[in-house]
Amino acid sequence: MNLLLLQAQPNPFLGFLPILLIFAIFYFLLFLPMQRQKKQQKQMLAGLQNGNVVQTSGGIVGTIVSISANDDTLVIRVKPDNIRLQIARSAVAGLITKE
């Protein structure tokens, strides 16, 4: 009977420790890189200028000819026939660099 009284009670924090570790792993492996990628995409879209070669989310590659006054749409020129397309700024997936 005395042995039961001498045993230490388990710490309730130790029960939550595995759950906290899982959340920390998810944050550093999933959420933090996604936030960085969103920030880079937003900076890229804000820095678009005339003459930049861009690729849309649909796979169209063209050169920016003009940016609308309200900054929501772009006009791009697509080769070889120099067709001009008006697209939403958010449709730009990335810049094509000349390397």
User: What integer pLDDT is reported at residue 69 of this predicted model?
Assistant: 78
Rounded CA separation 5/33 (Å): 50
User: What integer pLDDT is reported at residue 8 of this predicted model?
Assistant: 64
What parts of the chain have a pLDDT lower than 70? 1-8, 99
Domain boundaries, the chain: 11-46, 49-99
User: What integer pLDDT is reported at residue 99 of this predicted model?
Assistant: 62
User: What integer pLDDT is reported at residue 3 of this predicted model?
Assistant: 52
* 3-state SS record for 82-93: CEEEEEEHHHEE
User: What integer pLDDT is reported at residue 77 of this predicted model?
Assistant: 96
Distances in Å between the Cα of 14 and the Cα atoms of 4, 20, 21, 24 are 21, 10, 11, 16
User: What integer pLDDT is reported at residue 4 of this predicted model?
Assistant: 52
Q: Could you tell me the pTM of the whole model?
A: 0.69
- The domain made up of 49-99 has a fold known as SH3 type barrels. (2.30.30)
